[in-house]
Amino acid sequence: MDKFVIKGPCKVRGQVSISGSKNSALPLLASTILFDEDVILENIPRVQDCNTMLNLLKSLGKIIKFSKNRRIVKISKAKRPKYFASYSIVKTMRAGILVLGPLVAKYHKSISSFPGGCILNGNSGRPIDLHLSALQKLGMKYSIKNGYIRASSKGKLKGTSIKFPTISVGASQQLIISSVLASGVSLISGLATEPEVKDLTNFLKKAGAKIKWVGKRTCRIIGVKKLKGIRYSVMGDRIETGTFCVAATLTKGKLKIKNFDPKLIQTELKILKKAGAKIKESKNQILIEGPKKIKNIRNIVTKEYGGFPTDLQPIFMVLLCKAEGISTITEKIFQGRFLHVMELQRLGAQISIKNAKAVINGNPNFGIGAEVMSSDLRASAALVLAGLTSKGITTISRVYHLDRGYEQFEKKLKKIGANIKRVSG
């Protein structure tokens, strides 16, 4: 298992280019199950979760061809389609569940393993009830046996009105994809409006799907017979962008962050400005410079899009560990998403948690190197940033979590001045 060894403190300076969004690429890839014609996706991030999704599509019979740099992928029709999403592939990734709906929509049957993914909610796990009950309303029948969802439909799924009781990014994507080839009209409300959901509807519309956002959280989808092959470029990764913005702010660095539209992360940029960062936004680019002293921030609350994203919670927590005074972050999406706290404490952080609220007692001298362990994808990135700002050597184990979702993270950091190396074994 690879580790990162960081010699800190380091300052990041220079420019960094943002990769395609993992959380957008995954549903786009899953939706290619609906297509008979070729789909060419550009700007696919070279991260483990995308490899896993592509392997899953291959196991379902799809033909996958990469460009030389593996950033463009062509997905062609399965000669002999299969309907079995195996545990061995799906166990590492939450988005594996996203093939269930498209398989039933296209082939009227599927045997799909329960998905894996980051452990973010302690003992409550990450349920898929919203996915299943919404698909049921479209006419899918299912039973659960030996960890597999055995699902089928009598012919096409049937459009209907569905209102999600709570907002879920994955269940919204699942239902949008599954409704595109359904017969009749679906009116889906209570949808997530994350930019990755909008990227999905843009992609499907370009392929001929009849989808219209008719309210802030409502889509009307008129089923079509088939989708046409297209070429589409995956949007940039807003969480990677946020991570590099924090790296600059935390290390008193200066970065030009390219290939990302700053309009999509206004909430995050506002908080960074409050913390003292100087930020200049232009089209597809952010210039950010860290302050001498980081100001504390009270009352960050994670929320659905428009609000502060849960995926940046661990990363902003590191920033607040180095601020002057007390800060708080309340986690409203995954109430147990605090596994990184214990590891940050090893580096000297003073954080206490009560009822999903973290109180961070900041210290401008935060960070003495130590051995720490990654617990999930974003927690890994948070530990790397903490290592950059800590004095001495920080060793981070289990970085396979990070490889699931950040493209060449340590290489990008090295280029901008971080003293970080990957050690195998």
Considering the complex, state which of residue 163 and residue 280 has its C-beta at the smaller distance from ligand EPZ.
163
Residues 6+ positions from 315 with CB-CB distance below 8 Å: 242, 243, 246, 378, 381, 382, 385
Considering the complex, state which of residue 10 and residue 26 has its C-beta at the smaller distance from ligand EPZ.
26
Q: What is the DSSP string of 78-110?
A: -SS---EE-HHHHTT-GGGGGGHHHHHHHHSEE
Secondary-structure percent of the chain, ordered helix, strand, coil, rounded to 5: 35, 30, 35
Considering the complex, state which of residue 81 and residue 127 has its C-beta at the smaller distance from ligand EPZ.
127
The Cα-based distances of 74 to 58, 77, 96, 196, 226 in angstroms read 12, 10, 19, 20, 18
Euclidean distance between CA atoms 168 and 170, whole angstroms: 6
Shortest Cβ 363–ligand EPZ spacing (Å): 27
236 three-class SS:
strand
Shortest Cβ 334–ligand EPZ spacing (Å): 5
Shortest Cβ 357–ligand EPZ spacing (Å): 16
Structure tokens at 87: 């545990």
Shortest Cβ 162–ligand EPZ spacing (Å): 13
Catalytic residue among 118, 219, 245, 321: 118
Torsion of CA 83, 89, 90, 92, to 10 degrees: -170
Considering the complex, state which of residue 240 and residue 410 has its C-beta at the smaller distance from ligand EPZ.
240
- Judge contact between 324 and 187, C-beta under 8 A: no
Q: Where are the beta strands (DSSP E) in 363-419?
A: 371-373, 392-397
Considering the complex, state which of residue 26 and residue 28 has its C-beta at the smaller distance from ligand EPZ.
26
265: DSSP letter = G
Dihedral sign, Cα of residue 206, residue 207, residue 213, residue 218: negative
Residues 6+ positions from 357 with CB-CB distance below 8 Å: 328, 329, 330, 331
Shortest Cβ 196–ligand EPZ spacing (Å): 6
324: DSSP letter = B
Considering the complex, state which of residue 35 and residue 334 has its C-beta at the smaller distance from ligand EPZ.
334
Interface ranges with ligand EPZ (CB under 6 A): 23, 26, 94-95, 118, 121, 126-131, 166, 168-171, 310-311, 333-334, 377-378, 405
Considering the complex, state which of residue 140 and residue 333 has its C-beta at the smaller distance from ligand EPZ.
333
Residues 6+ positions from 123 with CB-CB distance below 8 Å: 336
Asked if residue 364 has a cis previous peptide bond (ω within 30° of 0), the answer is no
Shortest Cβ 180–ligand EPZ spacing (Å): 19
Active site residue 118: yes
Structure tokens at 368: 């003495």
Sheet of 73-76, strand order: 63-66, 73-76, 39-42, 231-233
Shortest Cβ 204–ligand EPZ spacing (Å): 16
| Catalytic sites, residue numbers | 118
